[in-house]
């Protein structure tokens, strides 16, 4: 199954970014991809001077113009799309960082609100965002059963393990990985580790430019990096083989060999 991974530098304009996104969807479909994955914060770039109220005023609901336009493009091009947007919340000066999955008929079939906000290394997403309260169930797609994560979630192995144990064959993690000391090394190591320890693919489209490091990745279930987009803006393609997940989990049965009967005996 052919997957399209998009890496680009989002501008501060929703309209400009939306035009780019729909163009990438069309290009992905023209190359016979069945699945198209975009990075976190694709809706627009939020700089440090933008207040929480300003961000909230630009956010939308899942039925707003931004997601609706992407769903229309998915339907027109008969392709599945994973992306993200700033979703309105009931708290007037906070938004959700929300990922969505759209099927080839243009229907939103799953959403996930980021539960681990990036309050680390000098950043504090909780100043502008509201965290989600649940992990979304894995969902069937053209490339296999996917589990959704977003960026900083990758640093928490409990989440990826929960998704894998629930049936995920592929972890998809739209990201905007901030530049910094050792950050690219962390990014590559964490993505490879999540793939190896769960015997699954990891698809991690990343923002590039602004404050972000790029290096969008696809890693196979045995830890081989199939794609590293470095600092390139644009679209790349990777073939995903669901049988590779089953084969890897058979020869390296990490999920099966867990001792969940013993782990709870350790008390803090």
- Does a structural domain hold residue 254? yes
- Does a structural domain hold residue 61? yes
- Does a structural domain hold residue 266? no
> Could you give the CA distance from residue 153 to residue 40 in angstroms, rounded to a whole number?
12
Tokens (6 digits) for 198: 């769960």
* Cβ neighbours of residue 86 closer than 8 Å, sequence gap 6 or more: 43, 44, 55, 58, 59, 60, 95, 96, 97, 98
- Does a structural domain hold residue 216? yes
Task: Label residue 156 exposed, middle or buried (CB < 10 Å: 0-12, 13-18, 19+).
Answer: middle
- Does a structural domain hold residue 217? yes
> Could you give the CA distance from residue 57 to residue 88 in angstroms, rounded to a whole number?
8
* Cβ neighbours of residue 259 closer than 8 Å, sequence gap 6 or more: none
* Cβ neighbours of residue 113 closer than 8 Å, sequence gap 6 or more: 87, 96, 97, 98, 131, 132, 133
Which residues are known catalytic residues? 40, 114, 151
Cα 166–chain centre separation: 18
Q: Which pLDDT tens digits describe the chain residue by residue (268 residues)? A: 899 999 999 999 999 999 999 999 999 999 999 999 999 999 999 988 999 999 999 999 999 999 999 999 999 999 999 999 999 999 989 999 999 999 999 999 999 999 999 999 999 999 999 999 999 999 999 999 999 999 999 999 999 999 999 999 999 999 999 999 999 999 999 999 999 999 999 999 999 999 999 999 999 999 999 999 999 999 999 999 999 999 999 999 999 999 999 999 998 7
- Does a structural domain hold residue 263? no
- Give me the torsion for CA of 112, 234, 192, 43, rounded to 10°: -20
Tokens (6 digits) for 75: 């339907």
- Does a structural domain hold residue 267? no
CATH number at residue 196: 3.60.110.10
Domain limits for position 107: 2-258
How many structural domains compose the chain? 1
Q: How far is CA 178 from CA 120, 132, 215, 217, in A?
A: 11, 21, 11, 15
Instruction: List, in sequence order, every beta strand (DSSP E) within 115-206.
Output: 139-141, 144-148, 170-172, 201-204
Tokens (6 digits) for 200: 């699954």
Closest CA to 83 of 68, 101, 71, 65: 101
Closest CA to 14 of 64, 49, 51, 74: 64
């Amino acid at each position: 199954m052919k997957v399209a991974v998009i890496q680009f530098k989002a501008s501060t304009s929703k309209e400009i970014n939306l035009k780019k996104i729909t163009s990438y969807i069309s290009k992905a479909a023209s190359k016979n991809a069945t699945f198209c994955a975009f990075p976190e914060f694709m809706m627009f770039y939020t700089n440090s001077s933008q207040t929480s109220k300003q961000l909230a005023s630009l956010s939308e609901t899942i039925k707003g113009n931004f997601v609706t336009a992407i769903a229309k493009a998915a339907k027109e091009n008969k392709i599945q799309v994973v992306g993200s947007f700033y979703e309105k919340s009931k708290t007037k000066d906070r938004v959700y960082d929300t990922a969505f999955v759209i099927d080839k008929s243009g229907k939103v079939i799953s959403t996930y609100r980021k539960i681990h906000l990036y309050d680390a290394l000098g950043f504090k997403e909780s100043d502008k965002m509201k965290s989600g309260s649940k992990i979304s169930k894995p969902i069937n797609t053209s490339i296999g059963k996917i589990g959704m994560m977003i960026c900083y979630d990758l640093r928490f192995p409990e989440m990826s393990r929960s998704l894998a144990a629930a049936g995920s064959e592929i972890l998809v993690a739209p990201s905007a990985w901030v530049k910094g000391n050792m950050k690219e090394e962390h990014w590559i190591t964490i993505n490879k580790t999540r793939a190896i320890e769960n015997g699954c693919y990891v698809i991690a489209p990343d923002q590039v430019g602004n404050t972000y490091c790029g290096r969008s990745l696809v890693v196979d279930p045995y830890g081989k990096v199939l794609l590293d987009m470095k600092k390139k803006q644009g679209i790349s393609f990777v073939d995903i083989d669901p049988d590779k997940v089953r084969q890897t989990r058979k020869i390296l049965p990490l999920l099966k060999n867990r001792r969940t009967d013993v782990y709870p005996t350790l008390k803090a």
